[in-house]
Amino acid sequence: MPHYSSIGHYLLTRLYDNGVHHLFGVPGDYILRFYQQIYDSPIRHIGTTREDTAAFAADGYARCRGLSAVAVTYGVGALNVVNPIAGAYAESSPVVIISGAPGVNEQRDDPLLHHRFGPFRFQREIFERITCASAVLDDPYTALRQIDRVLAAAREYSKPVYIEIPRDRVETEGFSMPPESFVASGSDTASLQEAVEETLQLLSAATTPVLIAGVEIHRRGLQQKLRELVDLGQLPLAATLTGKSVIDEHHPYYLGIYEGAMGSVLARARVEQADLVMLLGVTLNDVDSGIYTAKIDANRMIRASLGEIYIHHHRYPRVLLADYVAALRDRLTPSIEPGLIPQAADEELAFPLSGQPIKLSRLISRLNRLLTPEMVVVSDTGDCLFAAIDLKVHESNFIANAFYTSMGFAVPAALGVQAACPERRALILVGDGAFQMTGTELSTIARLGLNPIVVVFNNRGYSTERFILDGPFNDISLWRFERLGEVFGPLAGFEAGVEEELEAALAGALAVRDRPSIINVHLEPGDPSPGMRRLAEHLGNKI
């Protein structure tokens, strides 16, 4: 029977073959032998300050490269990544979790080993709830097949997977066997054809059709097919917040973010007045619906998502989104005359105003002028996320965990983004509270010589929660963010309380290309984003 050099080596080889050229994590005794193999492989290890930030970084990496990996020790390390991996599962980001474990021989007598918190199987059972496939590589006769099976599942379903490797199996020879059959799902030909035929009939009859594109367009890599569909059909397109940047937001047929009362005024008007609304890759969650303020009649809706198509009240099973979009693109003829899409005029604001305290709406307007095709906006959770609705970004240049909404995502995720795509520069939008959770990863970014620009929305506490229920529990410590270079290493720090200072800070940050920059932007706690204002006006009260 053919054999491979070792189980750990095979895992690293297969990761590299799948585009994983960096691996994030914190070493520990149960994973140390695997870490030695990482350093003997072409994969570069990026050590982080904490395990959870390693997983957030891996999430950002996966969104750019299609797969990523994080390696942690058993128990204390693995349990630290549960929250970010749950977020990756909710957001359909394919992260491979590699956890060390006590050796097979160590486990035989059921000893009370350090980092243990129950039966040895408990850790895998926890991760089975937040991954689409898992494996324990304890058998050298099946380990290589298990690796291939799990990695194929991550690719197929765009979800995290879990691999546990006992420390006495890392250097064990793995025996090659015929691979487990993993048949990628495909569309049912008849179902696809019927769905496309009914869709084309409805599009032909519609006078004001609108597309809404969601997060699955990103995860399935369908941006080009979507753009071709929009161009060929001359179809106006809105995006959900989780699907933001599925198309260049300067595109003439782009309407803006549809998020009920929170989104673009133009997008809301066009979507809710349309006689046909096509939802492509949209997940119907509370965030994308603007806290359920979205109004789309099911009788004029087509929804293509999760391997099936719903047209009005008809269901077409086993139709993949990629096949459906491609088939429509191939058969579509223009359905409206070009030039009929009104665009929201970009308001030309004079900037800076002398002595003017910085308003959040004007900060966003100024950042809009900053964005270039090389810049990818990485947003944290909070009002910075809702403010980003009004940013006009380029295609595939916006990353956030906008559905799971875990605070502390942006700074470590930007590390992963710039490791995956070094030609891109991250513009990190983060609140002061979220930064305090994971901002230590800026020291890793500085150590690596990466150059993101961090804009801290410093409104002295948890502003989004204040709109729900104000109280002293929303107050936090006041940090001097601009001085973090004294602790974190090479870092350009700026502070801005008025517009002239913001202008100077942005110019200074743009000029710094060899290290990260951070701008401490002072905002008033009672100054919400335009999106939050729109929602409050619609509801007639604070949320």
Task: Kindly list the domain boundaries of the chain, sorted by start residue.
Answer: 3-175, 189-331, 360-539
Q: Is 432 annotated as a binding residue?
A: yes
Q: Which pLDDT score, from 0 to 100, does residue 533 have?
A: 79
Cα 138 to chain centroid distance, Å, stands at 33
Tokens linked to 90: 């909710």
Q: Which pLDDT score, from 0 to 100, does residue 51 have?
A: 98
Cβ atoms within 10 Å, residue 303? 22
Buried-exposed string 472-503: b where 16+ CB fall within 10 A, e elsewhere: eebeeeeeebbebbeebbebbbbbbeebebbe
Q: Which pLDDT score, from 0 to 100, does residue 535 have?
A: 72
Tokens linked to 442: 């800026």
- pTM of the prediction? 0.94
Our CA dihedral for 493, 499, 503, 509, rounded to 10 degrees, sits at: 20
What three-state secondary structure class fits 195? helix
Q: Which pLDDT score, from 0 to 100, does residue 222 have?
A: 96
DSSP summary character for residue 25 = E
What three-state secondary structure class fits 297? coil
Tokens linked to 461: 């506490």
How confident is the model over 94-122, as pLDDT tens digits? 999 999 999 988 888 888 788 888 888 99
Q: Is 281 annotated as a binding residue?
A: no
Q: Rounded to an integer, what distance in angstroms lies between the CA atom of residue 436 and that of residue 458?
A: 11
Please answer whether residues 265 and 286 qualify as being in contact, where contact means their C-beta atoms are separated by less than 8 angstroms: no
Tokens linked to 243: 């699907």
What three-state secondary structure class fits 460? coil
Please answer whether residues 58 and 24 qualify as being in contact, where contact means their C-beta atoms are separated by less than 8 angstroms: yes
Q: Which pLDDT score, from 0 to 100, does residue 530 have?
A: 85
| 360-539 and 189-331 share a CATH fold | yes
What three-state secondary structure class fits 430? strand
Cα 160 to chain centroid distance, Å, stands at 13
Architecture per CATH, 189-331: 3-Layer(aba) Sandwich (3.40)
Q: Which pLDDT score, from 0 to 100, does residue 334 have?
A: 67
Q: Is 459 annotated as a binding residue?
A: yes
pLDDT in tens, the chain (543 residues): 566 689 999 999 999 999 999 999 999 999 999 999 999 999 999 999 999 999 999 999 999 999 999 999 999 999 999 999 999 999 999 999 999 999 988 888 888 788 888 888 999 999 999 999 999 999 999 999 999 999 999 999 999 999 999 999 999 999 877 666 556 678 999 999 999 999 999 999 999 999 999 999 999 999 999 999 999 999 999 999 999 999 999 999 999 999 998 999 999 999 999 999 999 999 989 999 998 999 999 899 999 988 899 998 899 999 999 999 999 999 988 655 555 565 555 666 788 888 999 999 999 999 999 999 999 999 999 999 999 999 999 999 999 999 999 999 999 999 999 999 999 999 999 999 999 999 999 999 999 999 999 999 999 999 888 888 889 999 999 999 999 999 999 999 999 999 999 999 999 999 999 999 999 999 999 898 888 877 766 655 544
CATH number of 360-539: 3.40.50.970
DSSP summary character for residue 482 = G
**What is the fold, at CATH topology level, of the domain defined by 3-175?**
Rossmann fold (3.40.50)
